[in-house]
A and B are shown apart, each in its own frame.
Chain A
Amino acid sequence: MRLAFGTSSGPAAQAMPSARLGALALLGTAVLVADASRLPGSLWVLALAGLWAWACGFPWRPLGTVVAAGAVTFLTFAATLATASWLGLGEANGLVQAWTMALKGTALAALAWATLRTFRPGALLRALDRLPGPLTPILTQITQQVLNLADESQRITQAWRLRGAAGRLHLGLLRAAPLVWLPRVAHRADRVAEAMELRGMPGHGLFRDSEPFGKREALLLAFALLGLTASALLRWGAR
């Protein structure tokens, strides 16, 4: 599965990056808060994920992949809970718990993936760097270095293929992989730490100039806030 950075272009993708990340955080909270053990709550979670996927211009085929991946990921857990419940070993509502977890996990994955697809890697890093908070420089560096490592891993894979590792399984190569890759990661981390020390990082906020906050951003955040409020009302308002 490819993340396909920067390929989606729905209405939400036009909003400024930090507004998109803010909306993602609010909608993620809305999904977590929603009471998916009841039908209205489940439908609400599905509606939120679907609406956000549409707003981000998330194509239907990858959305289907997310749903399938979510189902597979949570299936084992759900099946275990359901079986325990049926055998009378777990809680009586084990099946409902399993459904809730599978639905919320898949919805969160869809929200995150749909949002990430609206960013080019640089735009994502800039958005992270401009968010307030003491940990964001570290988060930015982690993201930046993960992208560099992804590039490096791709180069290693290409080199392996060129050296004859394509076509069939090479167990020796698989055994060697962590021995090649992990030291590289460790050395890179060392070198980046040296560079950060030398250049006087963290320099958080030095480039946080104002971004245009317009109607689109306001609408996006209002929609996300509304989603969170509705989730809270569906959960606690009904009692």
Chain B
Amino acid sequence: MKGPVLSFQGVTVRYEPGSAAILRALDLELAAGERVALLGLNGSGKTTLLKAAVGLLPHEGVILVCGETLGHSTLAGIRARVGFLFNQPEDQLLFPEVLDDVAFGLRRQGVPLAEARLRARAALAALGAEALAGQDVHQLSHGQKQRVALAGALATEPELLLLDEPSAALDPPGRERLAALLRGLDTGMLMATHDLAFAQACCTRMLVLEEGRLERRLL
């Protein structure tokens, strides 16, 4: 697509009306295919920014996702085009079996069950997690859950990826594999992370968020 895949124009986010702003009149633009790391101290607003981008938090200002203005009427369509990784992966694993969870987004798009499962296996294989396909989500380690959640986000081939600490629970080979995989995608991607080495390995640009504002631009 032409134009930015994600755009924040003077966006302010508060958890409660009248409370202190977590994001303050923030401007941000992410071009299609661009991979951007969002750095910042704990509590600087990284997760809030990602959640605001998919309408999980109320905002003032304008947010454009995949060319559409984020609002009540566009919310479902936008969410279907975005892959999202929560920083607590087990919260987003909603099915008892790994393969069903990864295939869920595809099934929502109307992909037939057999094909959805094939593509889900491929997404797991791309993350080195094909062996997890038949396992119970409940019995996975934290790192394995993170891979499964990532596979679910990638399986639908979204136009925009929003990843909250994607490398946090991965072992070094897993991090390298994920970095290589993300480098090979032509999907727009915004990633909140504290892992500088990982960010350098797979991102084309880095932004620093400080007290709800984008203060510095690296790279």
Contact = CB atoms under 8 A, between A and B. Distances in A.
Interface string B69-87: 0000000100110001010
A124 to B, nearest CB: 8
A35 interface: no
Contact of B96 (A126, A203, A209): A126
Contacts, number: 78
A197 B94 CA distance: 11
Interface string B135-154: 11111000000000000000
A196 interface: yes
A195 B92 contact: yes
A198 interface: yes
A184 to B, nearest CB: 11
Nearest to B113: A209
B194 interface: no
A207 B91 CA distance: 20
Interface string A174-209: 000000000000001001101111111101001101
Contacts of A148: 90, 138
Interface in B21-76: 51, 54, 56, 76
Interface in B119-173: 135-139
Nearest to A191: B91
Main secondary structure of the interface of B (DSSP, over half): helix
B212 interface: no
A8 interface: no
Interface stretch (A40-48, A59-67, A139-147): A139-147
Contact of B51 (A194, A206, A207): A194
A196 B28 CA distance: 27
Interface residues of B, number: 28
A21 interface: no
A191 B86 CA distance: 9
A161 interface: no
A126 B105 CA distance: 18
Contact of B76 (A141, A200, A206): A200
B96 A198 contact: no
Given A122-B136, A147-B138, A199 B92 contact: yes
Contact of B113 (A192, A201, A207): A207
Given A122-B136, A197-B56, A198-B54, A191 B88 contact: yes
A126 B92 CA distance: 17
A194 B54 CA distance: 11
Given A120-B136, A144-B138, A207-B107, A195 B96 contact: no
Contact of B56 (A123, A125, A198, A206): A198
Interface of B: 51, 54, 56, 76, 79-80, 84, 86, 88, 90-92, 94-97, 100, 103-105, 107-108, 113, 135-139
Interface of A: 120-126, 129, 140-141, 144, 147-148, 151, 188, 191-192, 194-201, 203, 206-207, 209
10 contacts: A122-B138, A125-B96, A126-B96, A144-B138, A194-B51, A194-B56, A197-B56, A200-B80, A200-B108, A206-B108
